[in-house]
Amino acid sequence: MFNKILIANRGEIACRVAATCKRLGIASVAVYSDADADAKHVAACDEAVHIGGSTAAESYLRVARIIEAARATGAQAVHPGYGFLSENEDFAHACEAAGIVFIGPPVSAIAAMGSKAAAKALMHAAAVPLVPGYHGDDQDPQLLHREADAIGYPVLLKASAGGGGKGMRVVERSEDFAAALASCKREAASSFGNDRVLIEKYLTRPRHVEVQVFADRHGGAVYLFDRDCSVQRRHQKVLEEAPAPGLSAELKREMGEAAVAAARAVDYVGAGTVEFIMTGSGDFYFMEMNTRLQVEHPVTEMVTGQDLVEWQLRVAADEPLPLTQQQLKLDGHAIEARIYAEHPARGFLPSTGKLKHLRMPEGVEFAIDAAGAAGPGAAGRKAPVRIDSGVREGDTITPFYDPMIAKLIVHGATREEALARLSRALHACEVVGPHTNIEFLQRIVASEPFSTADLDTGLIERHHDALFAPHRKPFKEALALACAALLTREGGTAHGASPWDALSHWRLNGGYTQTLGWREIGHGDNERAFTVSFARDGGTQTLEHDGVREDFSWSSGAGEHALRATLGDVRVTGRVFIDGDTFHVFCLGEALAFEWQNLLAHAADAEGGEGRLTAPMPGKVIAVLVEPGAVVEKGAPLLVMEAMKMEHTIGAPAAGTVTEVLYAVGDQVADGAQLLVLDVQ
């Protein structure tokens, strides 16, 4: 076995590989770009080497620089992860030439499967079922058009050297073929430097089913069962599960044996995935073979109890496969949901930004086992909930790489149990910062076609209207929690221990009323006002909303940001993350955001752009919350006034430093009087 390996990748797969290395006592070396200097995968490894600028071309695709890093650190082998250089035959060859083990298949196997057309020819020779189509070398447009006409429409044009959904076009009619071909070739040339295409019969409502295979250098080859990856957007997978539901034992065996035959046809070594397209009648056809570990490998680990990265390392170290086909067993069902920073309603465009708040459901991160020790262990491979992530709270999703936040994987004794567990886990996810697809995933999991395993690659498009339909959110309950969070924030003690400095709701001569204005974010941007009234003794308070007044109380819940609020007969528990004037509320399985309409702060901002805060009305200062020299963020409460039995908080119109406080507690101030001086940043 190796003593040290270099991981030529980033993000969650680099963290995943590092976890297995740590468990096996193998030192790991990370590589990182400018953008990833403080990334999670860098901290997860024993050493780290800077390899270039922020873009992939300047860093993770630099073959010579990565080989140099491996040599400099004494790494005996390189694990390429997936993406980047994982299926690059030049990189595999460079490793071999440098005397460094490439943890993957031989160069010849990568080359054989790198061209879709060549791979189809090999599979035909190995008697692996193929979709009717044209995979020839002659790329004359007129010939291609004739072949498409002979196959029968609809047909699928695919870039021969492609992947990730690029260079693909569905052509419905013969008269559309020429334009589609030209477009496909342009995209293929731009993305892969090769405009060669192949043509296949386009199957309506097909399923995408794949088989995990492994082979060693001693003649051993096995399949670790199947996965369904049909739920896709833009030809990229969103949900994956193992085993593929609804297939007979005989069909599963046939697919597994066909996948092993495909691997043997190219003298394969290591981990690979043979992807099939399947019709509703159960016919299956070879699509391609991915000569690497797949993103969705955790579902296979969950149902087999095997660490596939360990298998990769052992095979690369010239050991035989750990188990035979007869020794491999299935246990239960696993589903993986990919959580991305993206805008589902805007065509799944990537979203960027700082992860200001990140909370995943209670589960096992693959780097930690049930006993808390480093490494995956059986608990990590078959835990009820597993999180694979390459980011932490405070990290930034940049425009340079894939916008994945985490993979959420669940395991259950049955598919129904796994579905229920996945639904609960998705509703427990909390992300503040970039937009995410969490709500979209919740809707798919709850949808009738997915819950009944009526799966095909067009599921999202076919059910688009239902998946994106507006639905009722718990606005009243969420706003009650937002009010509780705001009042809790304002109810602390100012500098000093004097009880007169406390922002309690007790008053000597009577109660008071405070109006809290809110603007919904992302749901029509509607404005709502809640009026809270406090009794004279600071006891029972009421909240008025939409013309209804109800008793209102709140208290802290268990854990950070947790609150409990009771409004009338309704009690709700949730968590509120405050980001300036924006209150992100997570309750009843929903995520909502509201902007506090701090009218006094906005008025002060309009009147004095240099941070001069003035009283919008005559009144009395009842609390001063800052001292000169205090550095404050936008929206931070600075001073509290009382007028006409109503309390008003003066908030910072912008981030800055308080340079002067002009009034003290108890002072009467006139309308328009300057209260504080703020040096705006």
Query: What are the pLDDT digits (tens) for 580-631?
Result: 889 999 999 899 999 988 655 554 444 444 455 777 667 788 889 999 999 9
- Write out pLDDT tens, residues 371-413: 333 344 444 555 799 999 999 999 999 989 999 999 999 999 9
If you ran DSSP here, which 8-state letter would residue 181 be given? H
CB contact at 8 A, 299 and 225? no
CB contact at 8 A, 321 and 311? yes
Measured in Å, how far apart are the chain's first and last C-alpha atoms? 56
pLDDT band of 115, cuts 50, 70, 90 = confident
Helix, strand and coil content of the chain, in percent to the nearest 5, comes to 30, 35, 40
Catalytic residue chosen out of the listed positions 16, 227, 233, 292 = 292
Domain 207-291+294-467: CATH superfamily, name plus number: ATP-grasp fold, B domain (3.30.470.20)
According to DSSP, the residues that pair with 243 across neighbouring strands are: none
Residue 366: its pLDDT value, please? Answer: 52
Decide the pairing of beta strands 385-389 and 364-365: parallel
Coil, helix or strand at residue 625:
coil
Range 147-174 average pLDDT = 88
Number of Cβ atoms within 10 Å of the Cβ of 279: 15
Output Rg (C-alpha) for the chain, integer angstroms. Answer: 30
pLDDT, mean over the chain: 87
Under CATH, to which class is 600-680 assigned?
Answer: mainly beta
The residues spanned by each domain of the chain are: 4-104, 132-201, 207-291+294-467, 475-597, 600-680
Of 637, 642, 632, 631, which is closest to residue 665 (Cα–Cα)?
642
**Is this model's pTM higher than 0.85 or not?**
no
Does 207-291+294-467 match 132-201 at the fold level? no
Token duo for residue 569: 């007969």
Q: Is 292 a catalytic residue?
A: yes
The second-level CATH assignment, the architecture, of 4-104 is 3-Layer(aba) Sandwich (3.40)
User: What ranges make up the beta strands (E) of 607-670?
Assistant: 612-614, 619-624, 631-632, 637-643, 646-651, 656-661, 668-669
DSSP tally for the chain: helices H, then strands E: 19, 40
DSSP 312-345: HHHHHTTPPPSS-TTT----SEEEEEEEESEEGG
The second-level CATH assignment, the architecture, of 132-201 is 2-Layer Sandwich (3.30)
The second-level CATH assignment, the architecture, of 475-597 is 2-Layer Sandwich (3.30)
Range 428-454 average pLDDT = 96
- Write out pLDDT tens, residues 623-672: 899 999 999 988 888 988 876 545 677 888 888 999 999 999 988 887 67
Of 538, 520, 539, which is closest to residue 528 (Cα–Cα)?
520
Q: Is 504 a residue whose pLDDT tops 60?
A: no
Alpha-carbon distance 285 to 282, whole Å? 10
